[in-house]
Amino acid sequence: MPLTEIRESRAFVQELKFVVSPSQADAVRQWARVHMSPDPHAGGAAGDQYRVTSLYLDTDDMAVFERRGSYARSKYRVRRYGDGERIFLERKLKTRNRVGKLRSVLDRAELPMLERADATRRWAGHWFHQRVRVRGLRPVCQISYWRTARMGVSENGPIRLTVDDGVCALPASTFAFADPEEGMLLCPDQRILELKYRLEIPGLFKQLMQEFDLRPQASSKYRLAVTGLGLKLESVCPNS
């Protein structure tokens, strides 16, 4: 039985999202490369980019998408970075603008174990497997995108800026990753900017928001994917 006993709980942080144009995104990227450091796990020419691919889970009647009850506060997903062999099982819990995560790291070879009816308690993915079964969740779609990630430190702790573009989606029905290049491109004329920080908005982010006249706007890649793939009828792009 494979064991990858890495499980971490990330404290709640504040999160602001913005939907910006491609030209705004490029300008913000250049600004961040001057004022912030690259993510140490990223690559690319500027050392701050990587591909994210995730399987998003929902119930048969789309309780997560419909934001019903406790399903409105949490999202369960299986994530992969680039072509890596490590898989991340994640529960993202959101309360207002605060976000917390619980996740475990597995080898990609362990992914089929999520299809089984039961799993040993000694397995690092047991908690995820159990909650998914109890909540009646299953893979609904695969979402992938390219992320630029920059980091810094404020008076209240670490801060992080990300810009996501090239968001693509595919329907999914099993715990298996498909080629992200085959996905449907969603909202090609928009980019998603996220700012994460502890407690109060740091001065650096206030400067960014003022310089680029940024106004927070709710945006969910999962909702974009579900509507874009025709799994549920709703406006596909914000502002459309």
pLDDT, one tens digit per residue, over 122-176 is 898 999 999 999 999 999 999 999 999 999 999 888 999 999 999 999 999 999 9
Please check whether residue 78 is in contact with residue 114, taking contact to mean a CB–CB distance below 8 angstroms: yes
Q: Which spans in 7-115 are helix H?
A: 22-35, 63-66
Residue 4 has pLDDT above 60, yes or no: no
Please check whether residue 180 is in contact with residue 165, taking contact to mean a CB–CB distance below 8 angstroms: no
Residue 2, pLDDT score: 40
Please check whether residue 79 is in contact with residue 54, taking contact to mean a CB–CB distance below 8 angstroms: yes
Residue 12 has pLDDT above 80, yes or no: no
Residue 10, pLDDT score: 54
Instruction: Name the token pair of 109.
Output: 């070879």
Please check whether residue 60 is in contact with residue 136, taking contact to mean a CB–CB distance below 8 angstroms: yes
Helix axes 22-35, 203-211, angle to 10 degrees: 150
* Mean of all residue pLDDT scores within the chain: 89
Q: How large is the average pLDDT for residues 194-215?
A: 94
Instruction: State the amino acid at position 135 in one-letter form.
Output: R
Domains of the chain in start order, with CATH, are: 7-228 (3.20.100.30)
Instruction: State the amino acid at position 54 in one-letter form.
Output: S
Residue 240 has pLDDT above 90, yes or no: no
Residue 7 has pLDDT above 70, yes or no: no
Query: pLDDT (tens digit, 9 = 90+) per residue, 92-136?
Result: 887 766 778 888 999 999 999 999 888 888 898 999 999 999 999
For the entire predicted model, the pTM comes to: 0.89
Residue 8, pLDDT score: 47
The dihedral formed by the CA atoms of 67, 9, 131 and 61, expressed in degrees to the nearest 10: 20
CA 181 – CA 169 distance, rounded (Å): 9
pLDDT band at 237, cuts 50/70/90? low
Residue 236 has pLDDT above 70, yes or no: no
Nearest alpha-carbon partner for 208 in 150, 164, 145, 157? 150
Question: Distance of CA 35 to CAs 5, 41, 153, Å?
Answer: 36, 18, 11
Q: What Rg do the C-alpha atoms of the chain give, in angstroms?
A: 18
